[in-house]
Amino acid sequence: MYRLTGVTKRYSRGKETVEALRGVDLTIEDGDQLVIQGPTGGGKSTLLQMIGGLDRPTEGSVELDGVDLARISEAKLTRVRAEQIGIIFQSFNLIPTLTAQENVETALVPLGVKPAERRERAAEALSSVGLGERLSHAPSELSGGQQQRVAIARALVKKPKVLLADEPTGNLDEGTRDDIMGLLEGLWREYGLTFIMVTHDSSIARRAPRLATIKAGQITLTEQSFVQY
Amino acid sequence: MFGIYLKRELGRRKKAALVIALGLALGIALVITVNSVSAGMTQAQGKVLKSLYGLGTDMTVTKAQSAPKAGSSQGPNFKFDAKSSKKTTQSSDRVMTQGGQALSSSLVTKVAKQNGVESAVGAITLNVTKVDGSFTQGKAKSSTSSSGSGSGSGSQQQGGPGGGTGNSSSGGQPQVQGGGASFNVNSYSVAGIDIGNQELGPLATSKITSGKTFTSSQTSAKVAVISKSYAKSKKYKVGSTFKISGTKFTVIGIATPDSSESTTDVFVPLKPAQTLGDSKNKVTTIYVKATDSQQIATVKKTIQKNISGTTVTTSADLASTVSGSLSTASNLATSVGKWLSIAVLAAAFLVAALLTSSAVSRRVREFGTLKALGWPSRKVTRQVVGESMVNGLLGGALGIGLGLAAAYAVTAISPKLTAQLGSSGGGGGMVGGMGGPGGGPGQQSTSNTMEIALSAPVSLTTIALAVGLAVTGGLIAGAMGGWRASRMRPADALRSVS
């Protein structure tokens, strides 16, 4: 379970100080699906970074199962990211010089998984997202949708508790977007993940069971009816 | 994953990796070449000094030539009588000691007893000037007939008709006509050596390649060992005989010097040489071998302190008097060459570091993503350092190849360099009968020019240095890039736009 209390994030931009988040309070139960929506520059990605332990708040606490990610050491935070949090990015963020299988393996490297087991698990993860035939393809040889599937496989191969997605369909066409969203929701239900997604796409936001609208660093929560992809 | 990622990344950035590697290769090749050429020059200088100094000799003891009295002449003096016929030839040798004032032979024993001296031997160096030719009288003739006499005096130049004085007149006054001198001057060096210890002294720099060397029973024998070049010029061989100042010597051996030239033409036992030079129980140079080559300076001080009035010259002292293109090139290699290679290497390290750092900056999203996936900073840094090390080792391998090729080229071409060793007689410990004909009043200046072929030997130490530099280059570049990578935050992965 996530509990965010009074989370504030300030950045210095030259002489100016920008407050990306202002006193955000948020609770996310295990297995929840939460979509964070808002205008550009509203603080969506910043909030996701706090939740994912990618950055630390200026003030406040970010507790994941009682552990305050804002206070623990860098080494422990890295460990949390390695074991418990899977992340998907808008631009896929695959390593261009590695194959699809090797990209998925990178998520298992910090866990000390042996090479043979890594390869096997990566192959299984890619098969589960429909890319069993593309193991040895480089990212440049895959379509946008396929690259995002590789990224999803990479996020889930370590069987995390939390899946974070930052605009996962931002660089995809409508048809592919629906495929990816369908895949993500399927995996969310199958693995009982806590799924938190950032999007500016209203059509996606409308269908989520819980919607957090963020504007000027402040958040408004809305419970909705979940509409499956 | 480390190896695969490294290999793929270097493959992706082939051009940049090659630029870094070539930059390092150039610096390393320059270091190897300069080091090898410097080593070659040191070897060449060593050969020069060894040939002049004697193998096994650590220092020499001599005494500076004293200033001559006013009005006296130290040069050779020749007297010939004019003969009536051109066909009558005359010959005269003048033997003079070289290398400074003669020292008493008892000093050799005194030097040998000094602290730190393993052994000492004395030698006498002579210069023999031989003038031979014909000196004929002129004939006094009147306008119809002439008779008379004149005298020709020996001079050190080739002469033509000429001669004495006379006067002429149309009234039957006699005039001197005809007469003159035609002569050759030959100068060569002779070293009288202690045949009881031939491992030290002038003959130690040569190998007997024909015949044999002196035996212990020949201390007073009129026998000689001739240098190969002198034997060739005089067409001497083992068994030949020749005269020095009327004394007949028999050639028992031919000696080939270790270096390109020998400074001594003829070697004879010490006693006959002392007799020839009218220097009974005298030597001109004492050759000294120290018990510990690291203590040469100390032994020098001991001898100078306990035996006053002498000059002690070590190999290091002689080295400072070497001039010529060998010396110039050696100075260039050690000063300009050294600093140039340091500058190029520093530039190569800087370029490698900057390019690596720049490459890391371009991979912000990649490294940020890996950190977001849970890669600790040290793993990311290790990746960057690993890539840099491979670049460094590649540069090192290329540099070693280039450096070896350059050193091989220098050795193959073997450029000839000259070494001139110059000093005043008696003050610089010149040995081995160096110098030309005896000089005039005052101190003699002697110098010897040798030609040495330069090589560029590559030692294991130089190769190890090159490998060390390659590793250092890789580490410096890797440290720079790794530091940048370690400072990257995972949040950068989300913000960075490709």
Structure-token match 């261009």, residue found: A96
Nearest partner of B38 among B487, B461, B432, B496, judged by Cα: B461
Interface residues from chain A to B (CB-CB < 8 Å): 45, 48-49, 52-55, 74-75, 78-79, 81-83, 85, 87, 89, 91, 93, 95-98, 102, 105-107, 109-111, 115, 118, 154, 166
* B9 to chain A, closest Cα gap in Å: 6
The verdict on B67 touching A (C-beta cutoff 8 Å) is: no
- Rounded-to-integer distance, Cα A50 and Cα B279, Å: 103
Query: Do residue B1 and residue A75 have CB atoms under 8 angstroms apart?
Result: no
Strand-pair partners of B83: B136
Work out the minimum CA distance from B7 to partner chain A, whole angstroms.
9
Q: pLDDT (tens digit, 9 = 90+) per residue, A62-86?
A: 999 999 999 999 999 999 999 999 9
Q: Nearest-CA distance from B412 to chain A in Å?
A: 46
Residue-level pLDDT at B498:
35
Angular region, B180: left φ>0, alpha ψ -120 to 50, beta rest = left
- Looking at residue B150, its pLDDT comes to 41
Neighbouring residues of B335: CB distance < 8 A, sequence distance ≥ 6: none
List, in order, residues 6 or more apart from B278 with CB less than 8 Å away: B95
Q: Single out the residue of B52, B44, B422, B446 nearest to residue B261, CA to CA.
A: B52
Select from B1, B492, B494, B495 the residue whose CB has the most chain A CBs within 10 Å, as the one to mutate to test that interface: B494
Q: How far is B494 from chain A (nearest CA, A)?
A: 7
B333: which DSSP letter? I
Query: Burial letters for A48-73: b for 16+ Cβ neighbours within 10 Å, e otherwise?
Result: bbbbbbbbbbeebebbbeeeebbebe
Which residue range is the domain that position B11 belongs to? 2-53+324-415+454-495
C-alpha to C-alpha distance for B181 and B194, rounded to whole angstroms = 40
Bridge partner residues of B283 (DSSP): B103
Q: Quote the number of domains for chain B.
A: 1
Identify which of B1, B366, B376 has the shortest CB distance to residue A78.
Answer: B376
At B444 the pLDDT is 34
Question: Does residue B92 fall inside a structural domain?
Answer: no
Token pair listed for A14:
């030259």
Can you give the pTM of this predicted structure?
Answer: 0.63
Rounded to whole angstroms, how far apart are CA atoms B242 and B220?
17
Assess B409–A contact: CB distance below 8 Å, yes or no.
no
pLDDT by residue, tens only, chain B of 498 residues: 888 998 888 888 888 888 888 888 888 888 888 888 888 877 777 776 666 555 577 888 988 766 655 555 556 666 666 666 666 667 778 888 887 778 888 889 999 999 889 999 999 999 999 887 777 767 777 655 444 444 444 444 444 444 444 444 445 567 777 767 777 888 899 999 999 888 888 888 888 999 999 999 999 999 999 999 899 999 999 999 999 988 999 999 999 987 655 678 999 999 999 999 998 999 999 999 988 877 888 889 988 888 888 889 887 777 666 666 667 767 776 777 778 878 888 888 888 888 888 888 888 888 889 999 999 988 988 998 888 888 888 888 998 999 999 989 988 888 777 766 654 433 334 343 333 333 333 233 345 566 677 778 888 888 888 888 888 888 888 888 888 888 877 887 666 543
Size of interface A-B (CB pairs under 8 A): 85
Contact A54, B493 (CB under 8 A): yes
Residue to substitute from B14, B373, B495, interface A, most A β-carbons within 10 A = B373
- Which residues make beta-bridge pairs with A195? A33, A163
Cβ distance of B494 and A95 shorter than 8 Å: no
Q: Which residues of chain A does B493 touch, with a Cβ-Cβ cutoff of 8 Å?
A: 54, 89, 93
The alpha carbon of residue B389 is apart from the nearest alpha carbon of chain A, in Å, by 19
Query: What is the per-residue pLDDT for B158?
Result: 43
Please name the member of A110, A115, A118 whose beta carbon is closest to the beta carbon of B373: A110
Helix (H) or strand (E) holding A74: helix A74-84
Tell me what pLDDT residue A43 has.
85
Which of the 8 DSSP states describes residue A228? -
- At B155 the pLDDT is 42
Residue in chain A nearest B369 by alpha carbon: A93
pLDDT of residue A183: 86
DSSP per-residue string spanning B87-155 = T-EEEEEEEEE-SSS-EETHHHHHHHTSTTEEEEEEEEEEEEEEEEEEEE--EEETTTTB---------
Of B369, B374, B498, the CB nearest to A78: B374
Among B335, B309, B270, B329, CA closest to B121: B270
CA B330 to chain centre: 11
Of B12, B374, B494, Cβ closest to residue A82: B374
- pLDDT given for residue B160 in this prediction: 40
Residue found under tokens 């990178």: A106
Does B21 map to a domain? yes
| Length of chain B (residues) | 498
ipTM of the complex: 0.92
Q: pLDDT tens, A187-218?
A: 888 888 899 999 888 888 888 888 888 888 88
User: DSSP letter string over B25-55?
Assistant: HHHHHHHHHHHHHHHHHHHHHHHHHHHHH-T
The pLDDT score that the predictor gives to residue B75 is 63
Question: How many CA atoms lie within 13 Å of B466's alpha carbon, on the beta-carbon side?
Answer: 31
For each of the domains in chain A, give its residue range(s) and CATH number, in order of start. 29-56+73-223 (3.40.50.300)
B12–A106: do the CB atoms touch at under 8 Å?
Answer: no
How far does B413 lie from chain A, in Å, by closest CA? 48
Q: What is the largest CA-CA distance in chain A?
A: 53
Chain A positions touching B370 (Cβ under 8 A) are: 95, 106
- Do residues B98 and B423 lie in contact, with contact meaning Cβ atoms separated by under 8 Å? no
The C-alpha of B15 sits at a distance from chain A's nearest C-alpha, in angstroms, of 16
Average pLDDT over residues A32-57: 88
Mutate to test the interface with B, among A95, A99, A101, A159 (most CBs of B within 10 A): A95
User: Which residue among A93, A109, A154 sits closest to B493, beta carbon to beta carbon?
Assistant: A93
Q: B359 is written with which tokens?
A: 């490459």
Binary contact (B494, A54; C-beta < 8 A):
yes
Q: Which of A18, A92, A93 is the mutation pick for testing B, counting most B CBs within 10 A?
A: A93
| Inter-residue contact B425 to B436 (CB < 8 Å) | no
In this prediction, residue A182 carries a pLDDT of: 86
| Interface contact B369, partner A, CB < 8 A | yes
Q: Does residue B250 form part of some domain?
A: no
Q: Could you tell me if B3 lies within 8 Å of chain A, comparing CB atoms? A: no
